Chains A and B, each alone.
Chain A
Amino acid sequence: MTTGVVNSRRISQRTALTFLGLATAITVVPVLFIIIYTIINGGAAISWDFLTQFPSQAGRAGGILPAIIGTFYLMLGTLVFALPLGVMAGIYLTEYARDNWLTRLINLAIVNLAGVPSIVFGLFGLSVFVLAFNFGLSLLAASLTLACQALAMVITSSREAILAVPREYREGSLAIGVTKWQTVRYIVLPQALPGIITGAVLAISRAAGETAPILVVGAAFLLPKLPQSPFDQFMALSYHLYTVSAHVPNMPKETVWGVALVLLVVVLSFDMLAAAIRIKTRRRKQS
């Protein structure tokens, strides 16, 4: 081989490496930039009072306690509706449904559910839960709306977790006269649980960040007290951030970024919780 060929090969190798590295950097930089920028701008607003007081002067002063509480209520409500329903549907689709055109159609519909724009879920929630079911503009209607959106993710992650349980375990159980349901209940579900929980946690962390759907089904900008029942309206971090950043004049910049920082911390901490569960189970499986 001549030195010319060797050189040109070395150059193409270097070029490829440079571009791939650059592409990676370009994707990582904005993420880090957003996080750091939010911390720098919002950090000053964070104080004990900010986290524990009600807002005053249309959010320009005081704290954001009702928005934090409201977001946690929403996440809880979403989890309560989406987790059992999603897991049960996941079990049915993987363990019981026959592989025919109807099952394939349902699977396709579930995958596509994840792609439906969130504002469409909002309109659906408004016409079904708020109006038709007469739940009114409420925490309940909003939780159900977000649960519909989260279902796709819960079902998909449940199915994947259930499918990952080795067939040998199922056969071993069925081969000693254990029923199908007992096998699912005592062998498959315990094995699939970490995967199911990871998916559910990610789904509700996404729900916490949603603004568009809750806008139309019950989120309020300012409320004098915390929701007393599921039928009350509520405040939420995402919606609060939208309003203070777009609709309140003379808003202190650091307060806006403070709200953003709190929302970011809530969402990222749930994402990290999901990652921790995943890493822990992977370790356990290896040992």
Chain B
Amino acid sequence: MSINLNVSDISAKPVQKCVTKLKTERVNLYYGSFQALRNITLDISSCAITAIIGPSGCGKSSLLRLFNRMNDLIPNARVEGNVELDGIPIYDAKIDVVDLRKRVGMVFQKPNPFPMSVFENVAFGPRRHGIKSRGQLEEIVEKSLRQAALWEEVKDKLGQSALALSGGQQQRLCIARVLAVEPEVILMDEPCSSLDPVATLKIEDLMRSLSQSYTIIIVTHNMQQAARVSDMAAFLMMEPDRAGVLVEYGPTAQIFTNPKDKRTEDYITGRFG
């Protein structure tokens, strides 16, 4: 398996701007009596694309959903330990989850545009957050679609149903929908798993350009993708009781070329998983 690394990009970034955007400390996540994550401690840099990799069922998505508290939607889900955004614990009782999710947006595995027009899809978030002026909404929609590299393709069909777009366009529309509420962090849960290679490359290019202004965390089970787009990589694995643990976390280049843990090496080289 040949892997192209994006090492130069890391050094090219202005290091001084980078801060710890998200942080987990000794986090355990339970669904009822089943433990999905065990003792996860992780610092996520504001200016990196962080990839979460690992075999199916090891808790990658669960870990991602910790950061915008999407796990709250699952009955009986319980979190122990500390998760922080900009140094503020987000599982604190005082935290407004709605406000948190505005700051930490999410793109899902399957493109999920709403069954309404392209325009309304992007305008949905800003509208619900209180923006009523048509001119202002038009401005936000155009800006978000441009940022999501979709504007040129849809500018003449803003009034058409979003469901008529191709899968790749739908996923970029979902990214534009998130951008429209001006988040700080974008979580991506296997955003390319239902897309063809061309659409996948477009999303990856998009992630690269968005990483200039947003903190991006991506869950992927595609090793090449993790190697291509991410600066940092976290490798998760299941323990015998199926709880996910963090095996290794470090710069992507190091994880892929010189892993410290034997299990990481086995996984990367395709010996299991």
Contact = CB atoms under 8 A, between A and B. Distances in A.
A158 B125 CA distance: 26
A177 B181 contact: yes
Contact of A171 (B102, B103, B112, B128): B112
Q: Is the interface of A mostly helix, strand, loop or mixed?
A: helix
B112 A176 contact: no
B108 A172 contact: yes
Contacts of B125: 176-178
A187 B114 contact: yes
Contacts of B106: 171, 175-176
B99 interface: yes
Given A177-B98, A178-B124, A191 B103 contact: no
A98 B76 CA distance: 11
B70 A174 contact: yes
A186 interface: yes
Interface string B91-133: 0000000111111011010101111000000001100110000
A53 interface: no
B177 interface: yes
Interface string B65-106: 000101001010000000000000000000000111111011
Nearest to B107: A175
Contacts of A175: 68, 70, 101, 105-106, 108, 178
A98 B108 contact: no
Contacts of B103: 177
Contacts of A179: 98, 128
Interface residues of B, number: 28
B129 A177 contact: yes
A187 B98 CA distance: 16
A191 B114 CA distance: 10
Contacts of B137: none
A174 B112 contact: no
B158 to A, nearest CB: 19
A98 B112 CA distance: 26
Contacts of B73: 171, 174
Given A175-B178, A177-B101, A168 B108 contact: yes
Given A176-B101, A178-B98, A186-B128, A169 B114 contact: yes
Given A173-B114, A175-B68, A176-B181, 20 more contacts: A99-B75, A168-B112, A169-B115, A172-B108, A172-B113, A174-B70, A174-B73, A174-B101, A175-B106, A176-B101, A176-B105, A176-B106, A176-B183, A177-B98, A177-B102, A178-B98, A179-B98, A179-B128, A182-B128, A186-B128
20 contacts: A98-B75, A168-B112, A169-B114, A171-B73, A172-B108, A172-B113, A172-B177, A173-B114, A176-B101, A176-B105, A176-B125, A176-B183, A177-B102, A177-B103, A177-B125, A179-B98, A182-B128, A186-B124, A186-B128, A187-B114
